[in-house]
Amino acid sequence: MSNLFDLTGKSVIITGSSRGIGKAIAEAMATQGANVVISSRKQDACDETAAAINAEHGEGTAIAVAANISSKDDLQNLVDETRRAFGKVDVLVCNAASNPYYGPMGGISDEQFEKILMNNVVSNHWLIQMCAPEMLEREEGSIIIVSSIGGLTSSTTIGAYNVSKAADFQLARNLAAEFGPKGVRVNCIAPGLIKTDFARALWENPDTLKMVTRGTPMRRIGEPEEIAGAAVYLAAPASTFMTGQAMIVDGGSTIGVGL
């Protein structure tokens, strides 16, 4: 039991990992001995992140494979390149997501709603379908979906995004039931507000930030590195009896502060 968080020899795909939460997860996984695949839409951003990880942990620890999560062909290439470089996929982290609309759901266009559902739910389904068969054959593997506390709460401005994140929870539960007999686990992480470019509109303005954090016990938002530990746990031997669950990492915002 001394190696509960050891990922030596494991290969990990992390989408949306050239910055923010995904980058922090990739760095943490590499620190624990994993080989990591950096992926986002822009190859140069992926190359930069992979180079930094290789400089710290040794050449070949990370590779960079650009992929647009809305493209099934791009995702298949991502999986193929991972297998070519590392021989297998042990852990999949579905982190990339999009939210092209802020406002009441009555104002969202069909195109915007479809994009949210496609990028935040359907693309995860595709990628899992591509990676799961080999995990099931080996009877070992971990699939991690980065959802959001938005999937547990309501919003008047990011309602469609919240719908997609709630769907991710159910995707994990369904697949956990299907894959469990073969030892493959599927879990979600549900971050609260984290200081990333993706959430910049919610924390950059001091007044908005104060409003957002006043009901949070820790009175602050999180940093990307504070989500990475949850991902390492879900990928590692420490969590081999955990599946179909959502780890809430939100500074207590979903419990509030009471009276």
Active site (catalytic) residues: 161
Count of alpha carbons within 13 angstroms of residue 2, beta-carbon side: 0
- Closest C-alpha among 194, 163, 177, 154 to residue 245: 177
How far apart CA 180 and CA 92 sit, in angstroms, is: 16
* Beta carbons within 8 Å of 94's beta carbon, 6+ residues apart: 15, 123, 124, 127, 128, 143, 144, 145, 146, 168
Rounded Cα–Cα distance for residues 90 and 67 (Å): 19
Contacts of 217 (CB under 8 A, 6+ apart): 251, 252, 253, 255, 256, 257
Considering only CA atoms, give the Rg of the chain. 18
